[in-house]
Structure 1
Amino acid sequence: MGDRAELEYISIGGNRHPSAADWANNDGGCLAYGAGNSIALWRPLDSAYKGVYALLNGHTDAANAVKFYQRSGNQEVLLFSGSVDKSIRAWRVPLGESEGKSYESAVVAQHDASVTALEILSDSQTLISASADSTIKVWDLSHFATDGINEEVELVETIKVKIMPLAISAHDLDKKHKILAVAGSNAAIHIYVTQTTGKFGPIATLTGHAGWIRSLSFVRETTDTSSDLLLASASQDKFIRLWRIHKGEELPSSKAVDDPSLGLMGKSVSTKAHRFEIGDERASITFEALLLGHDDWIYSNKWHHHDGKLQLLSASADNSLAIWEADANSGIWVCVSRLGEISAQKGSTTATGSTGGFWIGLWSPKGNAVASLGRTGGWRLWQQESEHIWVPQIGCGGHVRSVTDIAWSKSGGYLLSTSSDQTSRLHSKWKQTPSWHEFARPQIHGYDLNCIGVISDTQFVSGADEKPLRVFQEPAVVASLLSKLCDISQENTDLPDAANIPVLGLSNKAIQAVDDKESNTNGDTEEPTTDDPSFIVNISALDIDHPPVEDQLARHLLWPEIHKVYGHGYEISAVAVTQDGTLMATACRASSIDHAVIRVYDTKDWKDFSEPLRAHSLTVTSLQWSPDGGYLLSVGRDRIWSIFELIDGKFTTTTAKGHSRMILDCSWAPLEAGRIFATAGRDKSVKIWQLIGTEWQLKSTITVSQPATAVAFAPSLPQNHLSLAIGLESGELLLAEVSMEDLEKVNVRPMQMQLCPHKGISRIAWQPQSGEQASGLMAVASEDGSLRIFTVPS
C-alpha cells in the first residue's frame, strides 16, 4: 500500500531572501525557490495550475540562494543551492516527461558561514558563491560529473572582502576576461576583473548609494556581444543605479547629467570615470542613470531583453514591482509598468492586508510574465496581455513556518491548516483543472497558532499561544467561492459578507459589501459613507471566479470571529470537536496538575458542559473524540492516556501508563471496527489498544526507528483490515495494515522517501469518506512548513 501512494498537493511558502529563487531559461520554465530547508519546484505557466510539484530535501538549514545551470544538449538542468548550513548543493532536475521521477544531490562546496548568493557563468562553466564568512569563492564546473553527481567542483580562487556580501553578479567581458561585482553590508560596489593570471583582481569601487545594496545584475546593452555592459544596483536607499562598462580609450557620453529627475536629489551626482585595462585594451566604468520611483527598500533587480527592448524588473518593500525602459528619444530611464499595490491601498501591517513588501522579482524565460515573492511567503504572477498591460495569474505559496495542525471539514470538501506563522489557511480542489489551491485565509493572528478543530462546515475553532480560543464563521464570499469553483454547497444563507482585521486589533470583524458606487437622489454617484471605512468592501472585489491570488487571500478572504472561549490559564495546546459538532474539548500547556485539565464546552452556548476533567499532570498533547462522541481520548507529556466515557451527561475516567516516554498523538479507529485506538510515543513505538469487556487492553506494539509524532486511522475498513498512518520525527511516513481478525498482525510499509517531509510530522488527517471508495486522501502537516495531500489506494 505504502509504495503506491501518490502526491496530490504540496503547499509551502518561500524564503524571504532576494537570491532565494531562480526561473530556468528553458521551454519548461521551472521556477525553483527556497522553502525552509527545502527547494520547491514550480511551473508558473503550466496550464494545469498544479503548483509546487516537488520539494528537494538535503539542506539542514534555510536555503538562501538558488541558481539554474543548463548545459547544451542535456535533457536536464543542474540546480545549485546555497544555505545557512554553509553548504552548496547540486541537484539534477529532469525536464519534460521525466519531471519528478528522480532528484539527486551532492554537496559540492563548503563555506565557513551562511551562503548568501550564487552566480553562474554558463559559457565559461564557472560558479561563484558569496558567504557571510566575508569571502567570494570561484569554482570550476568543467569537470563536474555528467553521468553521475558525485564529483566535487574545483575551487579556483577565494576572494576576501571586508563586508558581508549580499549580492554578486558576473559577466564575460570577452572570451578571456570576466567581470565580477560584489556588494552588501555597506554602500559601495566592488568591481573585480580577471587578470593575466586568470584570477580576479580589484579594479574599482563604485560609490553613490546611501544604504546596503541587495541586488546586482549585469547585461549586454544589446544582443550584440560587442556592446557595452550595464550593471544595475538596487539598494536599501530606495534607488537603483545603472553603471556602464565601456571598452575604448574615449569615455561614453552619459545621459545622467541630462536627467531632470536628478534635481530631486538635492545634490549633484558624481560622473567620475573608473578606468581599467582588459588585456591590451582600455575600458571604463561610468555612472549611467539613477532610477527613482520606489518609496521603500529595493530588494532585487533583473535584466531582460524582450521584443528588442532592454527592460529592468525591480522588486521593493513598497509592495510593488516596476518595469523600467530607456525612453527611445531621450534615453532617460522611466518606469513603464508598475505591478502590485499602490500606496493608497496599502495596509499598515500584515494583519490589515499588506503583504509586507516584495522580496524577489523574476522574469519568465520569454519575458512575457513576471513572478514575485511577498512577505507572507506567497508567489504572485502576472502575464503580459499587451505592451503595458499585465494581468494577475494564479500563483502559489503556503505556510512559512511549522504547520502545527490540520482538520478536514465535516463533509471533507476542504482542509484547514494552521501554523506557527500565525495564519490559518483553507485548501480545496478546483474542479475545473482539477488542482488543489489555497482558497481562503480565515485567520491572520498576532500569536503562533497551535491547534484547529472543525465545528461544522461553516465554523471552526483555533487555539494559539494565548489563553482564549477563537471561533470563526464562514463569510458569504468564501461560501460563494467554494460553491462556484469546488462544488461545495452551502445551505446557510445568513452569512456575513466578508471580514477584516481593524488596525491594532486581533479579532476578525464582519464587514459589509457595497456597490462600487452608490447612487443618490440626484442620480449622481458618490463614494459610500460609513463611520469606519474599513468595515466596507466593494462587491466587485469579492467577485472571484478563479483560485484567489495572494492579495485577495490576505485582504478579502478572512473569516469573521464570532466568539471567544475562556477558561484556560496558559497557551492552548489541543482542541477536539465531536463529529456532530455539539461538544468541544480543549487543553492548555501545563507543568502542574492544576492546569493539566481538559475543559469540555457545549458549542450551542459556549458554556462549560461539565466540570474540568482531571487525569493528567503535564501538558495534554492531543485530544480525540470517538466517532460516535461517546468517548474522549487524551494523551500527554506525562506518558499516560486517559479515556473519559460520556454516560448520561457525566464522564467516567479510565487512565493507564501507555508509553515509557511522552505520548505525542492518538487516533480512534472507525466505529465499525469496534472500540480501538492507537497512541504514538517518543519511545519509538505506536501501540494499539482495544476495549475487551470493560477493560482496555494493549493488543499490538509497532516499533519504529524514530520517535512517533503523529498517528491516524483511515476512516474505512477495506478488505477487513485497518489502515494506520504513522509520522515520525525524521519526517518519514509509514502506512500500516492491521488485520481485524488479529490486531497483532501488522504489515508496515514506508512511503517513498522523496515524497516525505524532512522534518517531524506534526499531524496526519484522513479525508472523511462516504460509501465504498477505492482510495483515500491523507493530509500531512510537517515542521518543515509543508502541507501535503496524498492519494492512498485502499
Structure 2
Amino acid sequence: MYFLAPETELISGGSDKQLILWECNGTGAWTSQAVKSIPLKGHTEAVCAVDAVYQSDEPGLNLLIASAASDSTVRVWSRCGPEAKCIEILQFGNGFVMDVCLSFLPGSNVPVLGGDDCKISLFIQQNDQFQKALILSGHEDWIRGVEWAVCGEDLFLASCAQDCLIRIWKVCTKSKQLPETEDNSLRLKENIFTVKDTDTSYAVTLESVLAGHENWVYAVHWQPSISKDGSMQQPMRILSASMDKTMIIWEPDKESGVWLEQVRVGEVGGNTLGFFDGQFSPDGSMIVAHAFHGALHLWKQATVNKKEWTPEVVISGHFNSVEDVKWDPEGEFIISVGSDQTTRLFAPWKRKEATE
C-alpha cells in the first residue's frame, strides 16, 4: 500500500493478484461515493510490494507505478489522465522481489527503480525502457526492504535484510566525486553507471553499515520530508523494525557524521514475534508499528527530553494480522490494512469541550 501526496490517491496491492488505484474527489472525504477505483491486472500471483511517483509537477497527470509479486516479476505501470496500463515487465527468473522503490536520479527526471532478489538491482529508464544499471552486493541474506530519500543534490538508498544489518547507499553525479589521488587506500569503492540519454555518469558508494539489531530486520524507512525555511528538506533519520522486538531510530553524529543508534523502543517478554513494519509521523515525533500478531504499537517523543520516547494509548480494531500501515502526509489520520480483509481509517476523536 502506498499513499500519494496530496492524499487524494492511494495505490494498493493484494493476494487477489491485482493492484487498485484509488482516486478521491479532492475533498478529502474517503467514502464509497467519493472514490473512484481503477484496477490494474496482470500479475499471476499475489502482489507483495508497490510504490509510485509523480512524473509531473501537477499531481494526477502522469503517475509511474512499480509493483512486485510472487510470480517473480516486477511490473511498471503508467497512468496518464484517466487510464493506467502496464508498460514493462521485469523478469527475475527464480528470484523473489520483496520490495520495490521508485525515485529520480540526482539533477534529472530519469526514473530509477530499486528492487531486490538477494541483491539490490538498480534499473534506469532509458529510451522508455527500464534497463539494469547496477547490482549492489553486500547483504548476506534475503533483503526485506529498500527505500529512497532525496537529500539536497544527492540520492540515498536504505536497505535492510535478514542478516540483521542495514546498509545506506549514496548516489551522486560522478563530477561531484573527489579527484583521484595516488593514495587510494581510504577511498570507498565506487560503482559507476552512465545514463546514455543525458550522457551523465553516476557513482554509487556505500555510505554506512548499521549493526544493532539481533534478529532479522524487516523494514527500514526514512523520516518524511519536512517544510523548513520555505522548502522541503529530508531529515537524515531512519527507522528500522526487527524481529528482535525493537524499533531503532538512526541518525548521523553531528560531529563525525557516523550513523549511530539514537533511540530504541520495543516490547519485553510476552508472546510477540517482533515488528513487521513501522512508520514515522510526518513531523517525526511519533512512531507507529505493527507486530506479527496484528497488534499496533505507538510511541511519542517527549517535549523536553527529545531522546525520551514513551508508549501511548494505541488505536486497534483488526481481528487478524495487520499487513501494512501508513500515515497520511499531513499527519491527520492513519490507514491500515489487515488479513481480516478490512481496511481501517483512524482519525483523532475531537470531542466538544464540556459546558458548565
Counterparts of 2:136 and 2:176, CA distance in 1: 19
Aligned residues: 300
Counterparts of 1:358 and 1:156, CA distance in 2: 35
Counterparts of 2:9 and 2:342, CA distance in 1: 25
Counterparts of 1:786 and 1:205, CA distance in 2: 36
Counterparts of 1:317 and 1:288, CA distance in 2: 24
Q: State the partner residue of 2:98.
A: 166
Residue 271 of structure 1 and its aligned partner are, at CA, apart by 4.1
Change (3 A) 1:391 1:784: same
Counterparts of 2:30 and 2:43, CA distance in 1: 31
Secondary structure, counterpart of 1:329 in structure 2: coil
Change (3 A) 1:101 1:130: closer
Change (3 A) 1:248 1:166: same
Change (3 A) 1:381 1:331: same
Tell me whether 1:285 sits opposite 2:223 in the alignment: no
Counterparts of 2:251 and 2:16, CA distance in 1: 39
Residue 123 of structure 1 and its aligned partner are, at CA, apart by 3.7
Q: State the partner residue of 2:21.
A: 90
Counterparts of 1:786 and 1:323, CA distance in 2: 28
Counterparts of 1:375 and 1:120, CA distance in 2: 26
Counterparts of 1:161 and 1:784, CA distance in 2: 29
Task: Report Cα offsets for 1:245-284 as digits up to 9, x if no partner.
Answer: 010246369xxxxxxxxxxxxxxx9943111113222111
Task: Report Cα offsets for 1:407-428 as digits up to 9, x if no partner.
Answer: xxxxxxxxxxxxxxxxxxxxxx
Counterparts of 2:36 and 2:138, CA distance in 1: 44
- 1:323 aligned partner, one-letter code: I
User: Are 1:378 and 1:395, in contact at CA under 8 Å, matched by a contact in 2?
Assistant: no
Q: State the partner residue of 1:68.
A: 3
User: Are 1:208 and 1:270, in contact at CA under 8 Å, matched by a contact in 2?
Assistant: no
Task: Report Cα offsets for 1:504-560 as digits up to 9, x if no partner.
Answer: xxxxxxxxxxxxxxxxxxxxxxxxxxxxxxxxxxxxxxxxxxxxxxxxxxxxxxxxx
Counterparts of 2:280 and 2:76, CA distance in 1: 26
2:287 maps to which of 370, 383, 386: 370
Q: State the partner residue of 1:181.
A: 114
Counterparts of 2:343 and 2:27, CA distance in 1: 25
Tell me whether 1:338 sits opposite 2:261 in the alignment: no
Q: State the partner residue of 1:80.
A: 11
Counterparts of 1:392 and 1:96, CA distance in 2: 33
Counterparts of 1:218 and 1:252, CA distance in 2: 23
User: Are 2:278 and 2:289, in contact at CA under 8 Å, matched by a contact in 1?
Assistant: yes
Counterparts of 2:309 and 2:89, CA distance in 1: 43
Counterparts of 2:32 and 2:87, CA distance in 1: 34
Sequence identity, in percent? 28
Residue 116 of structure 1 and its aligned partner are, at CA, apart by 1.3
Residue 94 of structure 1 and its aligned partner are, at CA, apart by 6.3
User: Are 2:8 and 2:28, in contact at CA under 8 Å, matched by a contact in 1?
Assistant: no
Q: State the partner residue of 1:215.
A: 145
Task: Report Cα offsets for 1:595-619 as digits up to 9, x if no partner.
Answer: xxxxxxxxxxxxxxxxxxxxxxxxx
Residue 316 of structure 1 and its aligned partner are, at CA, apart by 0.6
Q: State the partner residue of 1:299.
A: 218
Secondary structure, counterpart of 2:236 in structure 1: strand
1:355 maps to which of 259, 269, 272: 272
Secondary structure, counterpart of 2:215 in structure 1: coil
- For residues 391-470 of structure 1, the aligned pairs below 5 Å read 391-397=310-316, 398-400=318-320
1:128 maps to which of 54, 59, 66: 66
1:109 maps to which of 28, 41, 65: 41
Counterparts of 2:113 and 2:342, CA distance in 1: 36
Q: State the partner residue of 1:328.
A: 254
Secondary structure, counterpart of 1:118 in structure 2: strand
User: Are 1:178 and 1:193, in contact at CA under 8 Å, matched by a contact in 2?
Assistant: yes
Tell me whether 1:193 sits opposite 2:112 in the alignment: no
Tell me whether 1:317 sits opposite 2:243 in the alignment: yes
Secondary structure, counterpart of 2:124 in structure 1: strand
Counterparts of 1:327 and 1:320, CA distance in 2: 21
Question: For structure 2, which runs of at least 5 residues remain unmatched after alignment?
Answer: 57-62, 180-185, 322-338, 345-356
- For residues 716-755 of structure 1, the aligned pairs below 5 Å read none
Residue 96 of structure 1 and its aligned partner are, at CA, apart by 6.6
- 1:155 aligned partner, one-letter code: C
- 2:221 aligned partner, one-letter code: K
Question: For structure 1, which runs of at least 5 residues remain unmatched after alignment?
Answer: 1-65, 146-151, 254-268, 347-352, 402-758, 760-782, 788-794
- 2:250 aligned partner, one-letter code: W
Residue 388 of structure 1 and its aligned partner are, at CA, apart by 1.7
Change (3 A) 1:97 1:232: closer
Change (3 A) 1:361 1:97: closer
User: Are 2:217 and 2:240, in contact at CA under 8 Å, matched by a contact in 1?
Assistant: yes
Counterparts of 2:237 and 2:50, CA distance in 1: 22
Change (3 A) 1:332 1:366: same
Change (3 A) 1:313 1:138: same
Task: Report Cα offsets for 1:165-210 as digits up to 9, x if no partner.
Answer: 10111111144311111113x2x11111122x02111111111101
Residue 334 of structure 1 and its aligned partner are, at CA, apart by 0.4
Counterparts of 1:293 and 1:83, CA distance in 2: 32
Greater helix share, structure number: 1
Residue 212 of structure 1 and its aligned partner are, at CA, apart by 0.4
Counterparts of 2:38 and 2:220, CA distance in 1: 30
Residue 367 of structure 1 and its aligned partner are, at CA, apart by 2.1
Counterparts of 1:88 and 1:235, CA distance in 2: 26
Counterparts of 2:99 and 2:161, CA distance in 1: 10
Counterparts of 2:87 and 2:38, CA distance in 1: 19
Counterparts of 1:94 and 1:396, CA distance in 2: 27
Counterparts of 1:200 and 1:785, CA distance in 2: 35
1:139 maps to which of 77, 98, 102: 77
Change (3 A) 1:93 1:321: farther
User: Are 1:70 and 1:122, in contact at CA under 8 Å, matched by a contact in 2?
Assistant: no
Q: State the partner residue of 2:333.
A: none
Larger Rg: 1
Task: Report Cα offsets for 1:682-740 as digits up to 9, x if no partner.
Answer: xxxxxxxxxxxxxxxxxxxxxxxxxxxxxxxxxxxxxxxxxxxxxxxxxxxxxxxxxxx
Q: TM-score, normalised by structure 2?
A: 0.77
User: Are 1:400 and 1:785, in contact at CA under 8 Å, matched by a contact in 2?
Assistant: no
Residue 396 of structure 1 and its aligned partner are, at CA, apart by 2.6
